[in-house]
């Protein structure tokens, strides 16, 4: 593993432990060159996922982009980092379990919406406002009305 500080390849694992309820391994590493310490995570990847955008463009799946979008929706809400990681991991497992290598961005958005609905109503509405491209206050009203009817 290359050191993120000095780019040396001389790094050693100092500590390993399970993370994300056994779905990943957290490793503390130290660089032999600069002495810098950093953490890496090792996860099982069942298949290479490709996201098909609404424009038809295909891009590789990016776990960090999914994490960022959920983190933005849950910002300043009572959701800890561990719960956020579990949510991201659950969504990824669902995507991988679908059996498809190519998944539409719309499907990913629906998985996120379902997960956020169970976690936090405000985060759910925040995400929906971007995902469904709300442009006016009446878009929020219509969405909230449809939520109440469910």
pLDDT digits (tens, 9 = 90+) for 80-126: 988 998 899 899 989 988 888 999 999 999 999 999 999 998 999 99
- Structure-block tokens of residue 48: 């290479």
- Structure-block tokens of residue 147: 């939520």
Average pLDDT for 131-138: 87
Residue 45, pLDDT > 70, answer no
Average pLDDT for 3-23: 89
Please tell me the distance from the alpha carbon of residue 11 to that of residue 37, in angstroms, as a whole number. 9
Residue 47, pLDDT > 90, answer no
Please tell me the distance from the alpha carbon of residue 80 to that of residue 60, in angstroms, as a whole number. 28
Average pLDDT for 51-75: 94
User: What confidence tens digit (pLDDT) does each residue in 69-93 have?
Assistant: 999 999 999 999 889 988 998 999 8
Under DSSP, is residue 55 helix (H, G, I), strand (E, B) or coil?
coil
Q: Residue 46's pLDDT is what?
A: 60
DSSP secondary structure code for residue 22 in this structure: G
| Contacts of residue 105, Cβ cutoff 8 Å, sequence gap at least 6 | 51, 52, 53, 54
- Structure-block tokens of residue 97: 């379990």
């Amino acid at each position: 593993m290359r050191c993120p500080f000095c780019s040396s390849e001389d790094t050693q694992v100092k500590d390993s432990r399970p993370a994300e309820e056994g779905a990943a391994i957290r490793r503390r590493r130290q660089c032999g060159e600069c002495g810098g310490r950093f953490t890496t995570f090792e996860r099982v990847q069942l298949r290479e996922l490709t996201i098909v955008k609404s424009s038809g463009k295909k891009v590789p799946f990016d776990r960090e982009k999914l994490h960022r979008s959920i983190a933005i929706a849950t910002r300043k809400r009572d959701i800890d980092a561990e719960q956020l990681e579990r949510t991201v991991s659950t969504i990824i497992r669902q995507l991988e379990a679908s059996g498809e290598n190519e998944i539409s961005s719309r499907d990913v958005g629906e998985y996120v919406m379902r997960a956020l609905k169970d976690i936090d109503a405000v985060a759910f509405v925040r995400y929906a406002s971007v995902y469904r491209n709300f442009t006016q206050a009446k878009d929020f009203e219509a969405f909230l009305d449809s939520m109440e009817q469910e």
